[in-house]
Structure 1
Amino acid sequence: MRPFYEDHPGTLELDAPVLDTRPGAVLLARSPVFPGGGGQLPDRAALWWTHGTVDIRAVHAEERGVWHAFDGDTEITGIVRVAVDPAFRRLMCELHTVAHVANSIVFRAFGGALLTGAQLSADGTFRLDFDLPGADADRLRALDGPINAVIAQDLPIGAFRMPWDEAAAVPGLFRSKAVSPPRSVDGTVRIVEIAGLDRQGCGGTHLTSTGLARPVTILKVDNKGRQNRRIKIGFDDPRPPSNARP
């Protein structure tokens, strides 16, 4: 089953009947909630029903649908509403988009350097780790210039699917040194494309164009071992943008 949020990224609330229940969890046929992964934090979301509301602690997909777990042992039945926190989703979309921009620039400027780690943070920063032995730290500290230039170009962002084996054979579509994007049950993988700049396998959520992101600055460059270089990036203005659409 393909994740609902991939085909309907703008739908952050939906009503659905409970298909199955157990203490502390309900099974729904679909869910707008991003579960986390690839360095992106899971959505903050809540579940509403006739007798109250609970925060969703985790989601897990199976053949029948998606389990939504919450604290406590309440057994919920009937029709429920799942609602994703739009501000937090928007922040994750923004961070993940800028991370792809930074990744693409490093990949091109440093001879196809691969990711060794990535983490988006709720404080509006993110870090990328690269396999870059002997890299010039000053060049890495200057990356905010080309990143902000791409943001200013307002390049459209989209996604498509292709056969996993075909994608794995294309240099640059899989960027992690240690792991590959997951293969869907239909044998495909999702590719996120920034028009004219970058394509890479990714299951996360993104803005619809680079121009919706805020300008950034390089906060820190660290050596993490003999080969790893860690780049920490944050927004120039920590206030959320007035235009909050993804």
Structure 2
Amino acid sequence: MTYPLFRDDAYLADADGTVTAHTQEGGIVLDRCLFYPTGGGQPGDSGAVTWNGHKLAIATTVKGAGGEIVLVPAEPATLPPVGTALFQHLDWYRRHRHMRMHTALHLLSTVIPLPVSGGAIGETKSRLDFDMPEAPQDKEGLEDLLNEAVDRDLPVTEEWITDEELKANRSLVKTMSVAPPTGAGRVRLVRIGEGRHQIDLQPCGGTHVARTGEIGTVRLGKIEKKGRQNRRVYITLD
């Protein structure tokens, strides 16, 4: 398994590591990885790795077999040999945009308290799909509520519960289409706010900002009809 450094500190932008394997597709596996792999609607991280005067651009990151995290080079190139010690350099601007967007989508799920049927995170635009037969009438009011939650500068923290505890508390799961990953014995929860000021708690494996104030101003975009029961709601960040 690859140790996920991003789980310990989402703000870590550089780190060392050692090559443990190459994939048949030309990817690189490290013993510990700074890059978040595609999952949960969040794109895989990009950046570069450097070693012995060499530099290799990383286009994206994906999940491999058996808990491995695979770095995907931007183009075919000579890979650092297995056993090579190298340095990982994250495209921090892109990662931070994803962190802000991901946390903003959690807030969106609190101002539209309906089951979520899908979602996608991007640098410039993100969206959630809701089980919502009719589009909301007061779009401006929803945007105000969203930014009020941002302006409260609430802490964003995490905790872990067992698979059994999640099964006993299914109301924690907002997503209809994607179930939280289980089978490892524990599940990560992301909490926004604390005590009587808590506004959200749900399973999530993505990277997030430390406080909602870091998100900045959120703009509610268009709301599209995607089927009889589904509405797609877009957000952008200033």
Same fold per superposition (TM over 0.5): yes
Aligned to 1:10: 11
Distance in 1 separating the partners of 2:181 and 2:137: 35
Aligned to 1:37: 39
The one-character-per-residue Cα deviations of 1:198-242 (angstroms, maximum 9, x if unpaired) are 00000101000001111112121121111001111112x3xxxxx
Q: How far 1:172 sits from its partner (Å)?
A: 3.1
Structure 2 unmatched ranges of 5 or more: none
Aligned to 1:80: 86
Normalising by structure 2, report the TM-score. Answer: 0.87
Aligned to 1:234: 236
Q: How far 1:17 sits from its partner (Å)?
A: 2.4
Aligned to 2:49: 47
Deviating more after overlay: 29-38 vs 59-68 = 59-68
1:207 aligned residue (206, 209, 215): 209
The one-character-per-residue Cα deviations of 1:159-206 (angstroms, maximum 9, x if unpaired) are 111012312332431111122111252x11110000111000001010
Distance change >3 Å, CA 59–CA 13, structure 1 → 2: farther
Contact 2:191 / 2:202 at 8 angstroms: preserved in 1? yes
Number of residues of Structure 1 aligned to a counterpart in Structure 2: 228
Distance in 1 separating the partners of 2:217 and 2:67: 42
The one-character-per-residue Cα deviations of 1:6-63 (angstroms, maximum 9, x if unpaired) are 1222222111222234673333111010012111111122111114211224343455
Distance in 1 separating the partners of 2:140 and 2:117: 18
Residues 103-118 of structure 1 mapped to structure 2, 5 A cutoff: 103-107=109-113, 113-118=114-119
1:98 aligned residue (96, 99, 104): 104
Distance change >3 Å, CA 233–CA 69, structure 1 → 2: closer
Identity %: 29
Distance in 1 separating the partners of 2:225 and 2:70: 40
Distance in 1 separating the partners of 2:125 and 2:136: 19
Distance in 1 separating the partners of 2:223 and 2:66: 43
